């Protein structure tokens, strides 16, 4: 894809607003994307819309124009809310537009926890200053702040802010339990939260605030995406994980993760080679050549068995990788002043 990835782009955006007829918005959105030959995923709900779509530059520009003039989003969505990166329609297998309960799957009914109760939004510049201050205080062992990554472990593994707390969770829907199990950790703290494009922080910060234990909750407006536009060489190191066929986009040359087999620095994901598994694995070219292509021994074995059972059973939740990982990790407050920034 070396040549054509420069031609088009991938857009990421969301908009919280009241949608009276999600089915109608969904049908309109699907027709719009098809018309512009866009691929990707769009979630529609009564609380708004969340999408990531890819296509030619002409198509994505038109898409933004139409979205900004749609009466539903007119006064809420603005040009700034669209994050873009080099890519195109080839980054997604197809187009999926659907109606859901939430536009980001946290697993908590929007009627119970409103997106309106969010933390304080910080611009990339403000966030950068906060992180700078946090890192200098933390290095003297006296910080009252937690820099919290709201993403999943496979995202933070290949790129994250220096000195952050990155929960070892597999899905965002485990985040509320993570907060519940680790409330003590957040007591009287200032929390600086961030995620890919900002949307998970909208719900995550609202959830954290609803617990009434933190001193303050802040979130990075526009997510890592917008931060990297301003500070490609700032406090975020490594790649930015994206949910499409690219897996990651890069703003600096740092590699902060390693091959799971030999430990050499490596940050390019592949899907586990076992047909049933959907886990991502970091395995370097030389280990790949040795046939080490699965996420764990269980999968490596399964693959060798060559699927004689055509039952289509999925390994999704039960290979060694998932078994070993507690669904919700408990952080030990005492030993928690992380390796603050190299």
Active-site annotation, residues: 195
Residues constituting the chain: 342
Tokens representing residue 181 in the block: 């199990």
Burial (CB < 10 A; 0-12, 13-18, 19+), residue 147, is buried
d(Cα 240, Cα 256) in Å, to the nearest integer?
Answer: 12
d(Cα 283, Cα 268) in Å, to the nearest integer?
Answer: 8
d(Cα 328, Cα 331) in Å, to the nearest integer?
Answer: 9
According to DSSP, the residues that pair with 217 across neighbouring strands are 191
Tokens representing residue 255 in the block: 């590699």
Helices (H), the chain: 22-35, 57-69, 124-139, 153-156, 175-181, 183-186, 199-210, 223-230, 285-289, 297-305, 320-324
Map tokens 């009564």 to a residue: 46
Map tokens 């917008």 to a residue: 226
> Side by side, which strands form the sheet with 48-56?
83-87, 8-16, 48-56, 39-45, 95-99
Tokens representing residue 118 in the block: 């969010």
According to DSSP, the residues that pair with 165 across neighbouring strands are 148
- Contact (Cβ atoms closer than 8 angstroms) between residue 65 and residue 50: no
- Contact (Cβ atoms closer than 8 angstroms) between residue 242 and residue 8: no
């Amino acid at each position: 894809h070396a040549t054509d990835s420069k031609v088009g782009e991938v857009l990421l955006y969301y908009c919280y607003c009241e949608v009276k007829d999600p089915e109608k918005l969904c049908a309109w959105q699907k027709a719009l994307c098809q018309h512009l030959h866009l691929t990707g995923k769009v979630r529609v709900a009564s609380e708004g819309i969340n999408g990531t779509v890819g296509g030619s530059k002409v198509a994505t520009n038109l898409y933004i124009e139409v979205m900004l003039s749609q009466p539903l989003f007119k006064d809420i969505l603005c040009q700034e809310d669209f994050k873009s990166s080099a890519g195109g329609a080839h980054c997604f297998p197809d187009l999926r537009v659907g109606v859901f309960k939430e536009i980001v799957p946290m697993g908590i009914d929007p009627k119970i926890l409103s997106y309106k109760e969010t933390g304080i939004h910080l611009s990339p510049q403000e966030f950068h200053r906060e992180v700078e201050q946090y890192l200098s205080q933390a290095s003297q062992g006296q910080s009252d702040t937690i820099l919290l990554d709201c993403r999943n472990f496979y995202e933070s593994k290949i790129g994250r802010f220096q000195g952050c707390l990155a929960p070892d969770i597999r899905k965002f829907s485990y985040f509320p339990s993570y907060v519940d199990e680790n409330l003590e950790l957040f007591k009287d703290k200032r929390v600086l939260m961030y995620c890919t494009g900002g949307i998970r922080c909208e719900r995550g910060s609202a959830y954290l605030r609803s617990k009434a234990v933190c001193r303050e909750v802040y979130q990075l407006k526009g997510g890592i995406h917008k931060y990297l536009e301003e500070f490609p060489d700032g406090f975020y190191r490594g790649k930015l994980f994206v949910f499409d066929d690219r897996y990651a986009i890069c703003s600096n040359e740092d590699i902060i993760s390693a091959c799971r087999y030999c430990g050499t620095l490596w940050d390019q994901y592949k899907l586990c080679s076992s047909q049933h598994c959907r886990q991502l694995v970091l395995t370097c070219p030389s280990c790949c050549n040795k046939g080490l292509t699965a996420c764990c021994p269980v999968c490596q074995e399964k693959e060798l068995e060559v699927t004689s059972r055509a039952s289509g059973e999925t390994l999704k939740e039960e290979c060694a990788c998932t078994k070993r990982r507690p669904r919700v990790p408990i952080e030990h407050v005492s030993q928690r002043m992380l390796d603050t920034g190299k």
